Chain A
Amino acid sequence: MPDYTPPVRDIQFVLHEVLKAEDLSALDGYEDVSADLLDQIIEEGGKLCSEVLFPLNQSGDQEGCHYNDGVVTTPEGFKEAYKTFAEGGWCGVSGDPDFGGMGMPVLLGTVMQEMICSANMSFGMYPGLSQGAYEALHHFGSDEQKAVYLPKLIEGVWSGTMCLTEPHCGTDLGLIKTKAVPNGDGAYKLTGTKIFISAGEHDLTENIVHLVLAKLPDAPDGVKGISLFVVPKFLPSGDGVGDRNGVRCGSIEHKMGIHANSTCVINFDEAQAELVGAPHKGLRAMFTMMNAARLGVGMQGLGIAEIAYQNGLAYAKDRLQMRSLTGAKAPDKPADPIIVHPDVRRMLLKAKAFTEGARALSYYAGMNLDIANKSTDPQEKLRADDLVALLTPIIKAFQTDMGLEIAVDMQQVYGGHGYIAEWGMEQYVRDARIAQIYEGTNGIQALDLVGRKMSQSYGRLLRRFFHPALQFVEDHQNDPDLAEFVLPFAKSLMKLQQATAMIAQRGLKNPDEAGAASVDYLRQFALVALGYMWCRMVKTALEGKENNAGDAAFYDAKIATAKFFMHRMLPEADARFKMVMAGAGSIMELDEAAF
């Protein structure tokens, strides 16, 4: 049976020491934010994750969701846990206080997401999807829609979904067939079938608010003809729910992982629907949902990597097998704990260097999201908004790819036991897998990076990363304590700029060049971004050692982990650079018939 301890000290290191999150208190509405308050919330939230959500992770996976004639029941214990979670106010951490939210920074929500995903990823998706619905309605809903839905979503008594995919279209939403017909009184009748709807039907809340993409009768073809609708399972009435709407769950999927989250076929049969935002402008609203959701999925990759690492580490210290290659390290025992072996250490360090680096990167994005939302300085707002837009596909794709990779490595540490369900490690492998696929496959994320984010405003988004990174190099390249970190990072940054220029040039003439480079380029970018985070963390750790000698062991471990990253992980960026520079030729030349 795995164990979970919220990594509070590591979280605090990034929040307070690296990012200085308490600076957010300078923003309107965040006046109450202080290190103390953030710590207290993280402490209590972590307790909820480890004591309430985590114990249901394995049992929820084994039992799964049940479907009976349109009704979905979640695994035992989920309903009670959700009640504790919602009543504790955790659905509305960063919700708008005007609608009953706590109005805390998105950054704090990001921290909570990490811990929730470590504790119980399937559970986390129920409130997680509500968050997406909340964002869309908060940005694009009418005042009336906001008044009806937002307080309920924040309170957690209603939950939300995102209904995009149909049987014949996933990535290419221009092909959707779901129709919405005006019924004369300003509302619509919506008919169609949506599939792969996470949290589409369940027994946790009294109502489910579906946000549905559909086409109006006069819609233009393709993505320009998509509109967004809100379709509740039960029609709102007074302060509660009234008649059942024409929404029914047709079945739930049997799938590789996240068994405790219901993945539903949802049939809409002349369901009463309201338009959200302007007609045919649904795509924009959808991307609002998707961007928040993509960062959320990135946190799933991190969360799974963290829980897998914690348990891989515990096993490696406990499992006695063979002697160290350089002589017995535990002579009083029949064999040495396997953590003495270089390859086991390699896997553990990769997991440690990834999770700690990705945590810094994710929180960096979370904090910038707050600045983008709240800053009154238009320049600063734009800068932060650009940076988040740039980092979103990187965080989504890289962190979920690594989520699986780390889960597999940590399963490997367990040897044969890793393959046995009882030990819990194989569940992490199965759960991690979906995060690479949904919310836009990782291939689509890479296209978003090279196709949209790279070229937007003549590379302005890219500069939001390159400028501070180059500045860091300039400020610290002559610092002897930092040299062994800053130099390899500076080289990798230079190569990233080269790769960027190459893709921009060749991609302009031949878009297949950009497409063929995209996945390797995203990985290269992600490794460089993590390199930046590790350089900043080393700098912070060196300062920390000076100011807080009692915690020297903690800071020394950060510096040692950074060294591993520079020696053993960052070089992959070079390999990816070579692949990018090789161009599209070998990918595109082979005749289809020759495959």
Chain B
Amino acid sequence: MKILVPIKRVVDYNVKVRAKTDGSDVDIANVKMSVNPFDEIAVEEAVRLKEAGKAEEIIVLTIGPEKAQEQLRTAMAIGADRGIHVVTDDNVEPLSVAKALKHFVEKEQPNLIIMGKQAIDGDYNQTGQMLAALLGWPQATFASKVELNGDSAHVTREIDGGLETLKIALPGIITTDLRLNEPRYAKLPDIMKAKKKPLDSFTPADIGVDFTNRLQILKVNDPPVRQGGVKVGSIDELIDKLKNEAKVI
């Protein structure tokens, strides 16, 4: 069993980001960057499967700037075996990412792809689904539990109002939710070993995928500053305000 785990370099979840003053995008100059938390969970899950003897090789892949190598090394310190890096400074959209992934899936022939359900920067929640469509593979999204049984997987999903368990045939795609596992702290010897694991770099041209964006960002705003509350005198006044001021009912 070969597992492919695509990961993304994103602003660390602890950083409070702000919009750029010209409203063109989020300002991420000189802020701390990390592995997207959902992707870290995906790496951890793959490593656990390998430790349980259910997988032989874990390939971790990222599309991003030169520095995204740091995130690949982090994933390899957790336990991935080798890395693939498509180097680009572009802000690549989900469809382009899915197409690039398809290229490597055809090349590497993994039996399973585990990836975050979404990245915490764009919050698209699309890449896994698009990749499944492009490959014609089954998908199980928002996984909170994964069990492999030979050529199929039982995946428990978090859905509105409860849990749903699906069986998918492999090869297939699983996207992770937050409660799937708690990623480990990388061990010092593993961090050092990760430096020596193979890492292959590619340019977008090497893989023949066009990263031209199809979406255009019109404007990015900070959330509105929270206004102070008011005390209402009666239920009627409350209903009136909800209806006419807040316009929510």
Which A residues are within 8 Å of any B CB, using their own CB?
Answer: 5, 8-9, 32, 34, 36-37, 39-41, 43-45, 47-48, 51-52, 84, 87-90, 92-93, 102, 550-551, 553-554
Contact = CB atoms under 8 A, between A and B. Distances in A.
Interface in B182-220: 185-189, 191-192, 194-195
Given A5-B14, A8-B32, A32-B195, A41 B188 contact: yes
B189 A102 contact: yes
A54 to B, nearest CB: 13
B73 A40 contact: yes
Q: Main SS of chain B's interface residues?
A: helix
29 contacts: A5-B14, A8-B32, A32-B192, A32-B195, A36-B69, A37-B191, A37-B192, A39-B70, A40-B70, A41-B188, A41-B191, A43-B70, A43-B74, A44-B77, A44-B185, A44-B186, A44-B188, A45-B188, A47-B185, A48-B185, A51-B185, A88-B185, A88-B187, A89-B187, A89-B189, A93-B188, A550-B30, A551-B29, A553-B30
Given A43-B70, A92-B188, 4 more contacts: A36-B69, A44-B188, A87-B187, A88-B185
Given A32-B192, A52-B185, A40 B77 contact: yes
Tell me the dominant secondary structure on chain A's binding face: helix
Contact of B29 (A34, A39, A550): A550
A527 B169 CA distance: 69
B185 A36 contact: no
Contacts, number: 58
A102 B192 contact: yes
A84 B74 CA distance: 18
Given A32-B195, A40-B74, A40-B77, A89 B188 contact: yes
Contacts of A44: 74, 77, 185-186, 188, 191
Contact of B73 (A36, A47, A90, A550): A36
A41 B14 CA distance: 19
A88 B189 CA distance: 8
A90 B190 CA distance: 12
Interface of B: 14, 29-30, 32, 69-70, 73-74, 77, 185-189, 191-192, 194-195
A551 B29 CA distance: 8
Contacts of B14: 5
Across chains A and B, which 5 residue pairs bring their CB atoms closest together, nearest first?
A89-B188, A88-B187, A44-B186, A89-B189, A89-B187
B77 A554 contact: no
A89 B77 CA distance: 13
A169 to B, nearest CB: 39
A90 B195 contact: no
Contact of A36 (B32, B70, B77): B70
Nearest to B187: A88
A584 B29 CA distance: 56
Contacts of A45: 188
A89 to B, nearest CB: 3
B30 A551 contact: yes
A43 B69 CA distance: 14
B185 A84 contact: yes
B191 A40 contact: yes
A88 B188 contact: yes
Contacts of B195: 32, 34, 36-37, 40
Name the residue among A39, A48, A89, A550 with the largest chain B CB count within 10 angstroms: A89
A550 B192 CA distance: 30
